[in-house]
A and B are shown apart, each in its own frame.
Chain A
Amino acid sequence: MCNKIFLISLFLLTSCYKNWYKPAGYLFTNMPKGGTPGFELGWIHGCQSGLGSQFGSAFYMTMYTWSRDPDITSSVPDIEKIKARYKKELGKVNWNDPSEVKKNFRDYNTIFWPAHAYCRHSTLGMLQTAGLTPDLSSGGRWDPAQHSIGAVWKLTGKGDVRIGATGLW
């Protein structure tokens, strides 16, 4: 029995991705492939920051927060500090090549805001589709007392595209 549980757990865990246990964690699987390590780190940080912004709910803001690295953003980055901080994420960077380091940092800073916009808008779009319409930036967009988690599968929220509904059809 233990073996079966272990195997099932193993299978489940092998399908994990970064932030899989957090709300809208699937967005991290949408990261464009083929970028530099700096690109990927910037994308993850941008997405985390976007999800932790006011576009989500307090639930999202609890799980995510502003993640932009001030050292990589700095005009005079402390290489050693960054290198030590992101041993795994930036492990493939050739730190002896200044142009490659520069390129990775540039990619980080360039992709940060597109990823931020993508994730925050995806979250808000999903919440609105589910009928959770925010009024104030600080207002609760997901209220456990009023809304069900299953609302994310609702079709009657904002942008209802069913025939005969108020959508485009």
Chain B
Amino acid sequence: MTQPPISNLALMMAAKQEWQRVQTLFTKCFIALIRWMDINLLILAIINQLGVLVGGIAIATILENKDKVYMAPFSKVTIKNIALFLLLILASCRWFKDAATPFLMGDYMRLPQGTPTFQQGYKDGCGTSLYTRGNVFYRTIHKINYNPKLIDNPEYRFGYSRGYTTCFQIVVGGASGPQASFDAYLNYGTTFDMSGGGNINNLWGGFFSNGIMQGDVTNSNVNLDSVVNIWQNAERGGGTVFGSNPIWAGGSAGQFFGQ
């Protein structure tokens, strides 16, 4: 039994269908890419790619027309060196591969390298902490994630722990504005300039004078000293537990324990 001949029209129709299928696939891939990539870095990556393209065209144009334009200052060796130099610079650009690390769109978090299980744990931990300590925006786009099936996997647990901790620090600092909780104890705003000028009260930009080693939890100047101040003056200026600050004597000589 012989097969009927395939007409040109049928071939064209098949080719057209195949092309449409490729187009659809490309569109889907592109949409998926947009959804999963950090849009900011995508734009940066496109700019970089365009930069590479324009730079390449410019170099090629110069090399092709070097006989027609005034090229006296540039010998062949110089042009080659410039081309090599540009190549080395461009090779360090951020390429799609780096920019397309899929993680959480709209965030600054990057997924670290590691095994897929570790990365899954990292993503889950990060999303969870963003939900817990983020604002309304974060709570809208994230939720708690923990895969019970991977609870015995040490890589997953390690990734979860690292992701939770890392993103916790980011979201508490970034989305919270001025520190207003007990986290303020960790918000060391003092500049450590080490220029005390012989007086400990001026050391590290007033670290011990008006920096985090001073203040009271009952007023707006919440700082590290507040921790021990609780022992000294009870909670809100109540009775004294110790005769003085148990750690910090506060003198200009910088005595500790009253010495």
Contact = CB atoms under 8 A, between A and B. Distances in A.
A158 B148 contact: no
Contacts of A122: 131-132
A143 to B, nearest CB: 14
Contacts, number: 95
B180 A133 contact: yes
A118 B148 contact: no
Contact of A135 (B129, B133, B146, B217): B217
Contacts of B180: 128, 133, 158
A159 B135 contact: yes
Contacts of B175: 159, 161, 167-168
B144 A30 contact: yes
A138 interface: yes
B97 interface: no
A25 interface: no
B181 interface: yes
B177 A114 contact: no
A73 interface: no
The secondary-structure label for the interface of chain A is: loop
Nearest to A50: B132
A112 B132 CA distance: 16
Contacts of A44: none
A32 B147 contact: yes
A106 B134 contact: no
Given A110-B157, A135-B222, A161-B175, A39 B133 contact: no
A36 B149 CA distance: 9
Given A133-B180, A134-B181, A134-B182, A111 B151 contact: yes
Contacts of B230: 136
A125 B235 contact: no
Contacts of B136: 129, 155, 159, 161
A111 B217 CA distance: 34
A111 B125 CA distance: 13
B207 interface: no
Contacts of A110: 151, 157
Interface of B: 128-129, 131-139, 143-149, 151-152, 157, 160, 164, 168, 174-178, 180-182, 217-218, 222, 230, 235
Given A118-B144, A136-B230, A159-B137, 4 more contacts: A32-B148, A135-B222, A161-B175, A166-B178
9 contacts: A30-B143, A30-B144, A32-B144, A122-B132, A124-B181, A138-B235, A155-B136, A159-B134, A159-B175
